[in-house]
C-alpha cells in the first residue's frame, strides 16, 4: 500500500525567487561555455563571470523583500553544472552558493525548496534545463547514475536542515523531446526517491506531473511516503483562468492522488482579475503555490519576442549579450546591471502585495 500523506507539509503563499533560475541560469552559462568555448575568454574569466552573475542577480536584499511581502518559501532552481565540474564530478565548493541561499531563507524566516532544474544530459531538452542540445538522461546509464549520486550528495548535505522544506527531484521531465511526462518519469522518480531515502528519511519529496495530472502515473505502484504532487499551471488556452484551474482539479481527482498539492510554477500574466481568482482558488483548494517568477528581463520580451507578459514581480531591461562571442568586459557590464536595484516593480507586484498584506 502506498502511503503518500502521512507527514505532508503545506507551504502557503510562496513564490519562486528567480528568472531563469537563481543558480540554474549560471549553470546554463557554464554549460554554454563548455559546449562552445568563447575564444575571447580564459577559463579563469569564465569562472569570474559565473561568480559575478551569482553575486549580482540575487542578493540578501531580495530575501528581505520576499519576507516582508508576506511570502514564506523560496523555490531555488539549479542545474547539475552548478554543483559539478562537468556534470559528473562534484566540485569542492559545490554547495557554497546554495548554502548561502538556504541560510538567507533561514535568516528571513523563509523555507527553501531545493529544485534540480537540470539533470545530467537534460531531462527535457529545454533551455531552462541548462542543455537544449540533447535529451540524454533516460536510457543513458552514466547520466542516470550520476543524477542519482548527485541527489544522494544533496540529501546527505541537507539532512536535518530545518530551513530546507522539500526536495524537488526533477523539473518538468519529459518522456521524449516535446512530449509530456509519463511512466518513464515516475519510474526514474522512484529510483531517485529510494536513493534520497537511503540518506534522508525526513524531508518532503516533490513529484512533478508535467504538464497535466494525467501525465503522471497512479501511485499504487510506488511505495512512497511523505511526498507531494507538483503541477506547473500556465493557462495558454482560450479558456478562462478559473476553467483552467478547475480542469486541473478534475484531472487530479481522476488520478486519485492521495497527497497534498504544490503548484511549483504558475502565472496569470497581465490580467489582474486572473491573479485574484487564482489566489482565491488556491486558498479554497488548500493547494500551495509558487509563481514563476521573482524577476525577469522585460527587454527580451518587449524587444526580442514582442510578447511581454508580466513574468516577474520585478522587471529588468538589460540588452542581452552573446556569451559565446562577447568580450569579458561586455559580459561583465551586462552582469553588473542584473541586481534588483536596477529593476522596476511590475504590475503584478501590486497584485501579490494586495493578496499578501491587503495593500497594493
pLDDT the model gives residue 86:
85
Average model confidence (pLDDT) across the chain: 87
The confidence band for 27, taking pLDDT boundaries of 50, 70 and 90, is very low
- Residue scoring higher pLDDT (344 or 10): 344
pLDDT the model gives residue 18:
35
Residues 118, 136 contacting (CB under 8 angstroms):
no
Phi, psi of 94 (to 5 degrees): -50, -40
- Structural domain range at position 142: 14-357
Model pLDDT for residues 145-179, shown as the tens digit of each residue:
999 999 999 999 999 999 999 999 999 998 888 88
pLDDT the model gives residue 309:
72
Q: What percent of the chain has pLDDT over 70?
A: 88
Pairing of strands 344-345, 314-316: antiparallel
Residue 317 lies in a domain: yes
Position 8 pLDDT exceeds 60: no
Angstrom distance (rounded) from CA 173 to CA 225: 21
pLDDT the model gives residue 11:
57
- DSSP assignments along 140-193, one per residue: -HHHHHHHHHHHHHHHHHHTT-TTEEEEE--SS--SBTTB---HHHHHHHHHHH
DSSP 123: S
- Residue scoring higher pLDDT (307 or 250): 250
pTM of this structure: 0.90
Give the pLDDT mean for 284-312. 83
Residues 6+ apart with CB under 8 A from 275: 268, 348, 351, 352, 355
Of 22-36, 46-60, 209-223, the least confident: 22-36
C-alpha cell at 56: 549580482
Residues 222, 190 contacting (CB under 8 angstroms):
yes
pLDDT the model gives residue 291:
87
pLDDT the model gives residue 246:
97
Residue 222 lies in a domain: yes
Model pLDDT for residues 75-84, shown as the tens digit of each residue:
999 999 889 9
pLDDT the model gives residue 319:
87
pLDDT the model gives residue 23:
37
Query: Total domain count for the chain?
Result: 1
pLDDT the model gives residue 359:
75
Residue 18 lies in a domain: yes
Position 9 pLDDT exceeds 70: no
The residues facing 168 across adjacent strands are 115, 206
* Residue from 154, 165, 163 nearest 106 by CA: 163
pLDDT the model gives residue 128:
81
Residue 274 lies in a domain: yes
Residue 53 lies in a domain: yes
Model pLDDT for residues 270-288, shown as the tens digit of each residue:
889 999 999 999 999 999 9
Residue 74 lies in a domain: yes
The confidence band for 46, taking pLDDT boundaries of 50, 70 and 90, is confident
pLDDT the model gives residue 306:
64
Give the pLDDT mean for 308-325. 85
Give the pLDDT mean for 6-28. 41
Order of strands across the sheet with 314-316?
Answer: 295-297, 314-316, 344-345
Model pLDDT for residues 206-246, shown as the tens digit of each residue:
999 998 999 999 999 999 999 999 999 999 899 999 999 99
The confidence band for 324, taking pLDDT boundaries of 50, 70 and 90, is confident
Residue 4 lies in a domain: no
Residues 268, 274 contacting (CB under 8 angstroms):
yes
pLDDT the model gives residue 36:
66
3-class SS at 56? helix
Give the pLDDT mean for 256-264. 94
Residues 227, 4 contacting (CB under 8 angstroms):
yes
Residue 9 lies in a domain: no
Residues 227, 190 contacting (CB under 8 angstroms):
no
Look up the CATH number of the domain holding residue 128: 3.20.20.80
Amino acid at each position: 500500500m502506498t502511503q503518500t500523506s502521512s507527514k505532508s507539509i503545506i507551504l502557503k503563499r510562496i513564490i519562486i525567487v528567480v528568472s531563469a533560475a537563481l543558480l540554474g541560469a549560471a549553470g546554463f552559462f557554464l554549460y554554454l561555455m563548455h559546449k562552445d568555448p568563447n575564444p575571447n575568454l580564459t577559463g579563469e574569466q569564465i569562472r569570474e563571470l559565473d561568480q559575478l552573475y551569482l553575486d549580482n542577480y540575487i542578493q540578501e536584499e531580495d530575501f528581505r523583500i520576499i519576507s516582508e511581502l508576506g511570502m514564506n518559501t523560496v523555490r531555488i532552481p539549479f542545474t547539475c553544472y552548478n554543483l559539478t565540474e562537468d556534470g559528473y564530478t562534484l566540485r569542492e565548493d559545490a554547495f557554497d552558493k546554495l548554502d548561502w541561499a538556504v541560510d538567507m531563507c533561514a535568516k528571513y524566516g523563509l523555507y527553501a525548496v531545493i529544485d534540480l532544474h537540470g539533470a545530467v544530459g537534460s531531462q527535457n531538452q529545454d533551455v531552462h534545463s541548462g542543455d537544449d542540445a540533447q535529451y540524454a538522461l533516460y536510457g543513458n546509464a552514466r547520466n542516470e547514475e550520476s543524477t542519482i549520486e548527485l541527489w544522494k550528495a544533496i540529501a546527505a548535505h541537507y539532512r536535518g536542515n530545518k530551513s530546507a522544506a522539500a526536495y524537488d527531484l526533477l523539473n518538468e521531465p519529459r518522456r521524449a523531446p516535446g512530449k509530456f511526462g509519463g511512466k518513464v518519469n515516475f519510474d526514474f522518480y522512484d529510483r531517485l526517491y529510494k536513493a534520497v531515502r537511503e540518506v534522508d528519511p525526513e524531508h518532503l519529496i516533490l513529484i512533478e506531473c508535467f504538464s497535466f495530472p494525467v501525465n503522471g502515473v497512479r501511485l499504487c505502484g510506488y511505495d512512497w511516503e511523505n511526498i507531494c504532487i507538483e503541477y506547473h499551471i500556465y493557462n495558454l488556452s482560450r479558456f478562462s483562468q478559473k476553467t483552467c484551474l478547475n480542469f486541473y482539479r478534475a484531472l487530479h481527482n481522476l488520478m486519485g492522488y492521495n497527497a497534498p498539492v504544490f503548484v511549483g510554477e504558475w502565472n496569470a500574466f497581465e490580467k489582474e482579475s486572473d491573479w485574484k481568482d487564482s489566489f482565491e482558488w488556491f486558498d479554497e483548494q488548500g493547494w500551495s503555490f509558487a509563481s514563476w517568477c521573482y524577476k525577469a528581463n522585460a527587454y527580451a520580451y518587449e524587444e526580442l519576442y514582442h510578447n511581454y507578459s508580466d513574468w516577474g514581480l520585478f522587471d529588468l531591461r538589460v540588452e542581452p549579450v552573446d556569451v559565446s562571442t562577447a568580450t569579458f568586459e561586455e559580459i561583465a557590464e551586462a552582469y553588473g546591471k542584473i541586481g534588483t536595484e536596477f529593476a522596476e516593480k511590475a504590475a503584478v507586484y501590486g497584485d501579490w502585495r494586495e493578496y499578501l498584506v491587503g495593500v497594493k
